[in-house]
Amino acid sequence: MQTLTQKHQKRRDTILPWQVSNCKMTMLSVSSAPRVLSLFPLALASLLVVGTVRLLLENCSDSENVISHSSAIEPPPFLSTSFLSNWSQCNIYDGKWVLDNASRPLYKEEDCPYLANQVTCQKNRRPDSLYQNWRWEPNGCTLPRFDARKLLELLRNKRLMFTGDSIQRSQFQSMVCLLQSVIPDGKKSIYREPGMKIFKAEDFNATVVFYWAPFIVESNSDHAVKHTVRKRLVKLDSIEKHSQHYKGVDVLVFESYVWWMYSALINATNGPPYNVKEYKVSTAYELALRTWANWIDTNINPQTQKVFFTSSSPTHLWSWQWRPGSDENCFNETYPIKEGSGSYWRSELSIDIMKTLTDVLHEMKIKVNLLNITQLSEYRKDGHTSVYTERRGKLLTSEERSNPKTTADCIHWCLPGVPDTWNEILYAHLLYGIN
Ligand SMILES: *[C@@H]1O[C@H](CO)[C@@H](O)[C@H](O)[C@H]1NC(C)=O
Ligand SMILES: *[C@@H]1O[C@H](CO)[C@@H](O)[C@H](O)[C@H]1NC(C)=O
Ligand SMILES: *[C@@H]1O[C@H](CO)[C@@H](O)[C@H](O)[C@H]1NC(C)=O
Ligand SMILES: *[C@@H]1O[C@H](CO)[C@@H](O)[C@H](O)[C@H]1NC(C)=O
Ligand SMILES: *[C@@H]1O[C@H](CO)[C@@H](O)[C@H](O)[C@H]1NC(C)=O
Ligand SMILES: *[C@@H]1O[C@H](CO)[C@@H](O)[C@H](O)[C@H]1NC(C)=O
Ligand SMILES: *[C@@H]1O[C@H](CO)[C@@H](O)[C@H](O)[C@H]1NC(C)=O
């Protein structure tokens, strides 16, 4: 494991005290083991009631353009084996970003009242907006067009919960923005409960929740607002405080990465609370994930609940990673990285984290779908909030903005933006059960 240079250490402390990355370029091709298509997705299974099915399928086949079936007596397109094998053969994470001014962004920043000032980059005077207009296009298949009504129908009488840190909170905000435009005023609401933000679509009795749990397991950072960033202490074997909120939730989406990345070591307990030890982050992450996996395996009912895990959201803290010789960050980046697919510009630590995550998921009894968004988001050096954001409740001052090297936030994403794509992929999973 590499140590950080003084300079980077210093810079990091000023920018984002909890972020770390090993300053070394590593290329890795992860061999993709094609995962066998699972059972019908829960959401679909619940719709398999004669009558409603046909209508819905017709709507799907119209809008998808994936296959054209002319005969009316053929099986509905996405239930046919050819459709399923087509999706199972298609790696939706292998693809490219294409500029699509016509269909992107999926919603307008000013039209969504639920966005936090942290992510409203246009309102915060970001001069360029092309970052909103990119659409992820997998090689070999098409992502279904996001249809808010259809998703609300899938979520009727159900709860969808995002749980994790501030990155996950932006995925939640993105989802709420994607859904809310089709719901009239007075039929939607958002409110807080301790550790939670809850969005409700009244006519559908559909609930979308964000629950703060930055380490997945319990920690001294569990208060959504008043949490320590520097003196973090993680309880690797405790999850009950959080998991009580997961019981009976229909769709659970987990995420936890960036809070682990403060340094190569982390203080944690794994047993008695007085027995605090420094753990290697990769070891601690694995222990925490196993605590989580064990809870999921013993408490989740795969017939009625569906579980996802969002892979690590990449950061763009060092411009030399995509522009060799430079010494800046994501500030002023207005275009995605143009590269072929298949390589990671990740630090060794984050590769460890990714490998740990996939290993643990493979060993689980319950199938957890990986939302493998790391690589596709990696191209989006242009998507971060940079200096067009607020910190500790205040917009950056012009003085702070003039010093992007120390103030730019290259971890969080503007909305509309990259997390919308994560939700389009989640939507595809819920609609088709793709892998
Ligand atoms: C995630 O997606 C990338 C890009 O397609 C791929 O290289 C990698 O193998 C995938 N990882 C897993 C665990 O499926
Ligand atoms: C199908 O689309 C039509 C027109 O957009 C809509 O009225 C209908 O409710 C949709 N049906 C379903 C099941 O989504
Ligand atoms: C999926 O089907 C489409 C349309 O038939 C085809 O163009 C595409 O190559 C197929 N993809 C795979 C991975 O088989
Ligand atoms: C999309 O809009 C941008 C900025 O307005 C413009 O530069 C670009 O050429 C447009 N691209 C397409 C494909 O229309
Ligand atoms: C509304 O949804 C909740 C789950 O979020 C469910 O427990 C409840 O039964 C639903 N209410 C009705 C009237 O179906
Ligand atoms: C762990 O806690 C001790 C005592 O508070 C502290 O001195 C040490 O720096 C901490 N280690 C890490 C990695 O934060
Ligand atoms: C950012 O871009 C503007 C306009 O292209 C340019 O004038 C400025 O020098 C750039 N700043 C940095 C720090 O690269």
Average pLDDT over residues 170-186: 97
CB of residue 332 inside a 6 A radius of ligand 7: yes
What separation in Å is there between the alpha carbon of 434 and the centre of ligand 3?
A: 14
pLDDT tens for residues 186-228? Answer: 999 999 998 999 999 999 999 999 999 999 999 988 887 776 6
Q: What pLDDT sits at residue 223?
A: 80
Tell me which ligand sits closest to the C-alpha of residue 305. 5
Residue 61: per-residue pLDDT: 28
Shortest-distance ligand to the CA of residue 199: 5
Residues 280-333 pLDDT 10s: 999 999 999 999 999 999 999 999 999 999 999 999 998 888 888 889 999 999
Rounded Cα gap, residues 164 and 250, in angstroms? 17
Pairing of strands 95-99, 134-138: antiparallel
82 is annotated as an active-site residue: no
Residue with token string 């279904």: 144
- In this structure, are residues 211 and 244 in contact, taking their beta carbons and an 8 Å threshold? no
The contacts of residue 55 (CB under 8 Å, 6+ apart) are: none
Strand-pairing partners, residue 394, are: 391
What average pLDDT does the segment 135-143 reach?
Answer: 87
Lowest mean pLDDT across 112-121, 168-177, 261-270: 261-270
Instruction: Give the active site residue among 165, 250, 352, 409.
Output: 409
31 is catalytic: no
Tokens for 372?
């493998």
Quickly list H helices, 35-113.
42-45, 52-64, 81-89
Query: Burial of 122 by CB count in 10 Å (0-12 exposed, 13-18 middle, 19+ buried)?
Result: middle
Q: Which of 67, 74, 88, 141 to mutate to test the pocket of ligand 3 (most atoms within 8 A of CB)?
A: 141
Residue of 242, 316, 384, 412 with catalytic role: 412
d(CA 276, CA 393): 33
**Is 362 part of the annotated catalytic residue set?**
no
**Site of tokens 């003085």:** 399
On the 0-12 / 13-18 / 19+ scale of CB atoms within 10 A, 39 is: exposed
- Residue 62 — pLDDT band, cuts 50, 70, 90? very low
Look at residue 349 in the predicted model and tell me its pLDDT: 67
Nearest of 34, 32, 78, 71 to residue 53 by alpha carbon: 78
What number is the average pLDDT over the span 160-188?
97
Poorest-pLDDT segment among 173-182, 270-279, 340-349, 355-364: 340-349
Query: In this structure, which residue's CA is closest to atom 1 in ligand 1?
Result: 372
**CA distance to 168, 342, 346, 359, per residue, from 353 (Å):** 17, 18, 11, 10
Nearest residue by C-alpha to atom 13 in ligand 2: 56
Q: What spacing in Å lies between the alpha carbon of 27 and ligand 2's midpoint? A: 46
What would the mean pLDDT of 117-125 be, rounded to a whole number? 97
Protein residue with least CA distance to atom 2, ligand 6: 267
Maximum Cα–Cα distance across the chain? 69
Ligand 5 centroid vs 39 CA: distance in angstroms? Answer: 25
